Amino acid sequence: MYKATVTLIGLTPLGFSKAIQSSRNTGESGDAYEQRTWRERIHQDEAGNAFISPMALKNCLSDCARYLSESVPGKGKATFTKHFEAGCMVSDPLMLGIKAKDIPPERLFLPSDGKKGGNTRVWKFMPKVFPWKAKAQIFITDETVKPQKLEEYLGYAGQFIGIGFFRPRRGGFWGKFKIENFKTEKMKGGPQEEAA
């Protein structure tokens, strides 16, 4: 098992689209509701610090492996996809070093149901951060995924998969990143022991 530590440097804005939990007040217009609640789209801890969800990076890696469908040397038609999906884990939030209250919105005319090509559109405020960077820890539990392969796939993922709202994988251009300071260390135990 390996633990990889890497810094993601944003090349394009990072957008948040976490589901809003608040209900609309009686008599409240859609615009008023949007203006009151849009910050709920930001992932944040109890102290109001904004972060990228660990699953966002995990899914970014899995999507990259699925997209590339690269064969594992010596294993016939087997690809790296399942090894990245099951053998790589991101356990901690990627802290952005910014308070959620300091993140500005981008006002966009978007499908009301959130589906691409929807017939009805409404104005929405989407949280937008740029510039941004975040440090990530990725645990490799599958020996098929070597540290060099993880570094390679992270590089590709930052180019054409992306993270967050309006990322390239979903037809957008936000959430692109490059990687810096990629380092790995061999571990005896798992992420649980690391956290203990």
Tell me the C-alpha to C-alpha distance, in Å, between residue 5 and each of 58, 102, 165, 196: 14, 27, 24, 18
pLDDT at 125 over 60: yes
| Mean pLDDT of the residues in the chain | 92
Position 94 scores a pLDDT of 98
- Taking only the tens place, the pLDDT of each residue in 18-49 is 999 999 999 999 889 999 999 999 999 999 99
What CA–CA distance (Å, rounded) separates 101 from 87? 36
Position 195 scores a pLDDT of 47
| Token pair 């969800």 in the structure block, residue | 53
What's the pTM? 0.88
pLDDT at 194 over 60: no
CA 163 to chain centre: 4
Task: Read off the pLDDT band of 189 (50, 70, 90).
Answer: low
Position 138 scores a pLDDT of 97
Count other Cβ atoms within 10 Å, centred on residue 38. 18
- Taking only the tens place, the pLDDT of each residue in 98-124 is 999 999 999 998 887 667 776 788 889
| Token pair 């009686």 in the structure block, residue | 26
